[in-house]
């Protein structure tokens, strides 16, 4: 049976992040992708200039449409933006008994634009975090969700991850891409284990959509029946390679996207 993954997120007309990056990732990893669009953005490699939120009832209609027709094995949730969108998604996931939920708590764009309304942070923590199998905050997102300063080392990363576990999610993948040093270190924290995932930091400005790509890669691997640790290890390797190949693309004038189809380009 064809593995199917769903992304619930916002669009990026520049193709580097959001729904577009998620669908590219699903395709690159051999998974059929379906999507629910929660917001439209006007953005490119240089920043976000406008956001148009999709009405919650239409978000719900999209969720019902895909779940009623497709056997969805995993769900990635990205940028939602507003309380109404979060509520519609939470109800839809419950209504359809969604499984293997990967929540990327997108709050601020790499350009600095605010993507999650201040009054929506509480709703995200209350309604979606407990429904997820794993959440994937970067260092600034983990700090914002826990009310702490940005973690400066792995010990502080683990402390914040454990604070997030208290919200009801069984696993937290706290990402160290915003950190410093030769290695980019992520920590997967569950109740009983800590898994350290390290990769050599790639010197490039072309990292637009990295978080979207990682979370959708995890969902893709879960849709193909990988266990969580293996799914995250595979996803980390995929994203690292896509970043390493990002400079092969000559796209835009700012922070360019990853090279999602690096393997295919290398073979051609």
Establish whether 168 is a catalytic residue: no
Strands 47-53 vs 74-77: parallel, antiparallel or unpaired: unpaired
Establish whether 175 is a catalytic residue: yes
In a domain, 213, yes or no: yes
Q: What is the reported pTM? A: 0.95
- The whole-number average pLDDT for the span 97-101 is 98
- The whole-number average pLDDT for the span 140-162 is 93
In a domain, 237, yes or no: yes
- Higher-pLDDT residue of 104, 199: 104
**CATH number (domain holding residue 128):** 3.40.1190.20
In a domain, 228, yes or no: yes
In a domain, 130, yes or no: yes
**Residues 228, 132 contacting (CB under 8 angstroms):** no
Q: How confident is the model at residue 193 (pLDDT cuts 50, 70, 90)?
A: confident
In a domain, 268, yes or no: no
Residue 266 confidence (pLDDT) above 70: no
Q: How many domains does the chain have?
A: 1
pLDDT for residue 203? 86
Q: Label residues 65-78 b or e (16+ Cβ within 10 Å = b).
A: ebbeeeebbbbbbb
Residue 118 per-residue DSSP state? G
Catalytic residue among 212, 213, 236, 256: 212
In a domain, 185, yes or no: yes
Residue 97 belongs to what domain range?
Answer: 4-263
Q: How far apart are CA 47 and CA 170, in angstroms?
A: 34
Catalytic residue among 175, 179, 236, 256: 175
Establish whether 212 is a catalytic residue: yes
Establish whether 97 is a catalytic residue: no
Catalytic residue among 207, 236, 240, 256: 207
Catalytic residue among 7, 146, 210, 213: 210
- The whole-number average pLDDT for the span 33-62 is 95
pLDDT for residue 200? 87
- The whole-number average pLDDT for the span 239-264 is 93
In a domain, 142, yes or no: yes
Establish whether 209 is a catalytic residue: yes
Q: Give the angle subtended at the CA of 116 by the CAs of 219 and 113, to the nearest 5°.
A: 105
Q: How confident is the model at residue 183 (pLDDT cuts 50, 70, 90)?
A: confident
Residue 132 per-residue DSSP state? -
């Amino acid at each position: 049976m064809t593995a199917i993954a769903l992304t619930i997120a916002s669009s990026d007309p520049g193709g580097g992040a959001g729904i577009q990056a998620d669908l590219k990732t699903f395709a690159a990893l051999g998974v059929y992708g379906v999507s629910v669009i929660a917001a439209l953005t006007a953005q490119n490699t240089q920043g976000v200039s406008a956001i148009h939120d999709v009405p919650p009832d239409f978000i719900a209609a999209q969720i019902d449409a895909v779940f009623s027709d497709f056997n969805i094995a995993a769900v990635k949730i990205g940028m939602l933006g507003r309380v109404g969108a979060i509520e519609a998604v939470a109800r839809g996931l419950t209504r359809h008994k969604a499984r293997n939920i990967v929540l990327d708590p997108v709050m601020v764009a790499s350009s600095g634009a605010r993507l999650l309304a201040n009054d929506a942070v509480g709703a995200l923590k209350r309604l979606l975090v407990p429904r997820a199998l794993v959440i994937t905050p970067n260092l600034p997102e983990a700090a914002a969700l826990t009310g702490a300063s940005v973690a400066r080392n792995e010990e502080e990363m683990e402390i914040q991850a454990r604070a997030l576990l208290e919200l009801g999610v069984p696993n937290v993948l706290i990402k160290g891409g915003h950190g410093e040093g030769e290695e980019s270190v992520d920590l997967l924290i569950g109740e009983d284990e800590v898994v350290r995932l390290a990769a050599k930091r790639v010197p490039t400005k072309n990292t637009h959509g990295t978080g979207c790509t990682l979370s959708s890669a995890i969902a893709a691997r879960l849709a193909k029946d990988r266990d969580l640790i293996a799914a995250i290890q595979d996803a980390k390797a995929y994203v690292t390679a896509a970043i390493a190949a990002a400079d092969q693309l000559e796209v835009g004038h700012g922070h360019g996207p990853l090279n999602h189809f690096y393997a295919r380009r290398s073979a051609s």
